[in-house]
Amino acid sequence: MTQTQPQPTPLNTNPTSSSLQTQQTTSAQNTENQPQPVPTITSQNQHPMQTRGKNRISKPNQKFTLLATTKPLTSEPTTIIQALKDEQWRKAASTDYDAHMRNHTWDLVPASPNQNLVGCR
């Protein structure tokens, strides 16, 4: 093998450009003559800190573990008779009525004589 010497570059008004060209030709010639080192790949870093990743510990993702199920509802009653036969509907109506009474949503007052009261029938 013969080594070639770097070729002088022509004078240039920009000194950084000429020195850069000389360095590039020199480094290109040197790398052709030297064997290329084989890159070594290390699978683990050398830092002593212990992490979950290094110990192969993983946390399950919460958004994938959430599951919601409901009991299928029966059909909604269409009459008061159907609703009163269902215990859940009776309990809901009773809870609603009790809340109205507790909050004084309604107050029963005696009717005045000049009011026209309409019956429920």
CA distances from 89 to 4, 20, 73, 97 (A): 99, 88, 12, 12
Structure tokens given for 46: 């050398």
- Predicted TM-score (pTM) of the model is 0.32
Q: Read off the pLDDT of residues 11-64 as tens digits, 9 standing for 90 and up.
A: 555 555 555 555 555 555 555 666 677 666 555 667 788 888 888 888 877 776
Residues in the chain: 121
How far is it, in rounded angstroms, from Cα 95 to Cα 97?
Answer: 6
Cα–Cα distance for residue pair 6/16, rounded to 1 Å:
17
Tokens of 10: 């022509």
Distance, CA of 45 to CA of 98 (rounded, Å): 67
Residue 35 identity (one-letter amino acid):
P
pLDDT in tens, 51-63: 888 888 888 777 7
